[in-house]
Amino acid sequence: MTTQTLSPKTDSPRQWRQAAFAYLLVAPPLLLMLLLIFIPALQSIARTLTVDVDGQVGFSFSRYVAFFQDRISVSNLMFTFQVVFLTLATIFVVCFPLALYLRFAQGRLAAAVQILALFPLFVPGIILCYALIRFLGTRGTLETILNVVGVSGYRTPYLKPEAIIIGLVWESIPFTVLVLTAGLRQVNDSLIESARDVGANDWTIFRRIILPLIMRPVLIAFSLNFLGIFGAYTVPYLLGPAAPQMMGVFMQQTFGQYRRPDDAETQAVITFIICSLVGLLYVRTVAKQRIQQENE
């Protein structure tokens, strides 16, 4: 059945017409994407791979060599990876308990938690950043509260990598909780109860039954969050340190402040390649899910 759905048989005229109609429907958005995204992207990639020596255009990796020989570029890339992985780890540590709670708890409190978990969805990033500065910054709300309860020596994470992570985690909670909760709702109660019945405790049930069964939602949350965080701009720009920088901020500065569009382009292509690898993971996960659903 899988082969059939992946490559529809188009031998009869009616099927052929149907297929043609389907292609016609998807043609306009495909064309737009081709014109506005793929072609410029390919052009950029092509430009980063060529050098122009006295009018002589030739193939060369020199721009990439330059990027990876530049200490600041490499440290920014590494910094971006660090922030991405720490943020992702924090997101899952925060969102798994939330999603599990929302899946298994009932009543008013669960409904309230659900609304709270979705709340960041309605707050624009820039407002979030200023709110976090007022809350976490020096002499901000948190420090005031801590002083009142007698805790001194508060050191603000503002303008440190931690602030970026806090902001990005906050932004990613609604989406992650939604995806994980939806995945958990697919896990039937009796699958969990049968595991408990044969002697499994909560942790074993989570690790051996629940986690494998929601691996796809987890991969989807992982890859989409990765993409969003790797290219993040507002949060690292407003909350993060001046150096090192995340790739989004770095590109913008290279392009806008230092006026080196060629270098910015190289940075963009490197970011693009890393993100498309993760994007591939996402596409594969979704495609597998579709095939499995069709087989069920």
Partner 1 sequence: MARLDIVQLTKQFGGVTAVDAAQFTVNDNEFMCILGPSGCGKSTLLRMVAGFEAPTSGDIRIDGETIAALPANKRPTAMVFQKYTLWPHMTVYDNIAFGLGLRRLSRSVIEQKVKEALELVSLSGYEARYPAQLSGGQQQRVALARAIVLEPKILLLDEPFSSLDAILRVRLREELKRIQRRLKITAIFVTHDQEEALSLADRIAVMSGGRIEQLDAPSTIYSTPSTLFVADFIGTMNLLQATAAGGELRVGDYRLPAPAGLKEGQVTVAIRPEDVVLGGEGTGWRGTVDQVMDLGHYRKIIAQIPGVGDVKIYLSKMPDVSEGAPITLNPQRWLVYQPDAALPLEYRRAGAVEAAV
Task: Confirm or reject binding of residue 293 to partner 1 (CB under 8 A).
Answer: no
The site map against partner 1 for 171-190 (x = CB under 8 A) is -----------------x-x
291 belongs to the binding site for partner 1 (CB under 8 A): no
Q: Is 70 helix (H, G, I), strand (E, B) or coil?
A: coil
Closer residue to partner 1 in complex, CB, 138/194: 194
CA distance 121 to 99: 16
Q: How far is the CB of 120 from partner 1 (least distance, A)?
A: 32
Options 136, 195, 219, 251; binder of partner 1; rule CB under 8 A: 195
Q: What are residue 52's DSSP bridge partners?
A: 57
Least CB distance from residue 145 to partner 1, whole Å? 39
**Of 3, 71, 203, 296, which lies in the binding site for partner 1, with binding defined by CB under 8 A?**
296
Q: How far is the CB of 182 from partner 1 (least distance, A)?
A: 17
Pick from 41, 100, 182, 200 the residue near partner 1 by CB under 8 A: 200
Residue 288 near partner 1 by CB under 8 A: no
- Is residue 191 a contact residue for partner 1 (CB under 8 A)? yes
Question: CA-CA distance, 292 to 216, in Å (whole number)?
Answer: 11
Question: Using the rule CB under 8 A, is 199 a contact of partner 1?
Answer: yes
Confirm or reject binding of residue 39 to partner 1 (CB under 8 A): no
DSSP 187: S
CA distances from 132 to 80, 164, 173, 226, 245 (A): 21, 10, 15, 22, 19
The footprint of partner 1 on this chain (CB under 8 A) covers a number of residues equal to 19
In the set 118, 159, 182, 213, which binds partner 1 (CB under 8 A)? 213
Distance CA 56, CA 207 (A): 60
Q: 58 phi and psi, to 5 degrees?
A: -140, 160
Which ranges of the chain would DSSP assign to H, the alpha helix?
Answer: 2-6, 13-33, 39-48, 62-69, 71-104, 108-118, 125-136, 141-148, 161-185, 189-197, 202-204, 211-213, 215-230, 234-239, 247-252, 261-295
Measured CA to CA, the distance from residue 61 to residue 63 in angstroms comes to 6
Q: Evaluate the omega torsion of the peptide bond into residue 244 and state whether it is cis, within 30 degrees of 0.
A: yes
Nearer to partner 1, 70 or 202 (CB): 202
User: How far is the CA of 24 from the CAs of 20, 30, 39, in angstroms?
Assistant: 6, 10, 21
Q: By CB under 8 A, is residue 204 in contact with partner 1?
A: yes
Q: 49 or 182: whose CB is closer to partner 1? A: 182
Nearer to partner 1, 128 or 219 (CB): 219
Which position among 110, 209, 224, 286 is part of the footprint of partner 1 (CB under 8 A)? Answer: 209
* Closest C-alpha among 119, 289, 292, 293 to residue 217: 289
Region from 73-81, 134-142, 147-155, 202-210 binding partner 1, contact rule CB under 8 A: 202-210
* Residue 194 found at the interface with partner 1 (CB under 8 A): yes
The contact set with partner 1 (CB under 8 A) reads 188, 190-191, 193-201, 204, 208-209, 212-213, 295-296
